Amino acid sequence: MTALYPLFADLDGRPVLIVGGGAVAERKTRALLNCGAAVRVGAPRLTRTLRAWAAEGRLTHLAEPYHDGWLKSAWLVIAATDDRALNARVKAAADARRILANVVDDPELSSFQVPAIVDRAPLTIAISSGGAAPVLARRLRERMEALFDPALGALARLAGDHRAAIRTACPDHGARRRFYDWLHDGPVLAFLRAGDEAQARQTLLARLDEAAAEPPPASRLSWIDPCPADPGQITLQQLRLLNEADVLLHDAQVNEAVLSLARRDADRHLLDADAWKDPGTLQDKILARCAGHGNTVALISQPA
């Protein structure tokens, strides 16, 4: 099965075509309208809700039999009919125009998949099995709904409102990461959970004033040695160290699958074998180079 590239698309004001007018098309339309897309629904008959949305001007109804001209100017196409031949025709027309198309419940025909969603707007968590096991993805979404605090959406909006101020008070990446860690783990989320947005905002601004005046903390060095070759054998402590690291220093034996567990924005550096012969000198050199930056550095070594 081909690996899919995950992305989030800005469809605000952009034309999206849905072919089909049943319950599935209604669900797809609802999600697209929530994203601000200019939805056109092509089908001779629509559900009651789709008819109401068309009457309200929220979507455009194409009532004539399908023709390829419907795809003109479309950014995305969703085929949601129970006629596989028609769905295949829609997909072929989309391919010819280099338009991404999703055929509902038919991953073999689709050029993009619609994931299961955990919605904490503006925070969105997408889960996909690449079409291999959509029921499994939905079950995972149900579990994640219970794991993620409903107040996370309000926290993301608050952080977005003060993004420029956060960048000013915390000019380097490490400082910003520490601030966002505090934002998630500190009192702001508790105030939002209680519905006290004013106190949450006041607390955030007070912490920003403190952060702007603070010197960077001392750099910290963590060793993951020996590192397991199998990422499934990584301990919780080792995973935490990987996720905290701003800089990864590793030898050539470390499995790429292990390194992929670290933060994607962490800087990676491969150290040659000679560097590991004197751990004390290596540690001193690293801390001297990172002085004044407040970096968290992970040294990762795997036995040959």
Catalytic residues: 251, 277
Quick one: which of 117, 34, 37, 128 has its CA closest to 78? 37
Using CB atoms within 10 Å of the CB of residue 210, give its burial: 0 to 12 exposed, 13 to 18 middle, 19+ buried.
exposed
- Beta-strand pair 247-250/220-224: unpaired
Task: At 158, list the tokens.
Answer: 């608050």
CA distances from 272 to 217, 228, 250, 275, 284 (A): 29, 19, 9, 6, 17
What does the DSSP 8-state code read for residue 303?
Answer: -
Return the half-sphere exposure (C-beta side, CA atoms, 13 A cut-off) of residue 121: 3
**Number of neighbouring beta carbons within 10 Å of residue 204:** 23
**H helices, E strands: number in the chain:** 12, 11
Strands 296-300, 267-270: pairing is unpaired
Asked if omega into 122 is within 30° of 0 (cis), the reply is: yes
Beta bridge partners of 223: 299
Query: Exposure of 110 by Cβ count < 10 A (0-12 exposed, 13-18 middle, 19+ buried)?
Result: buried
First and final C-alpha spacing in the chain:
32
Q: Count Cβ atoms below 10 Å from residue 44 Cβ, excluding itself.
A: 11
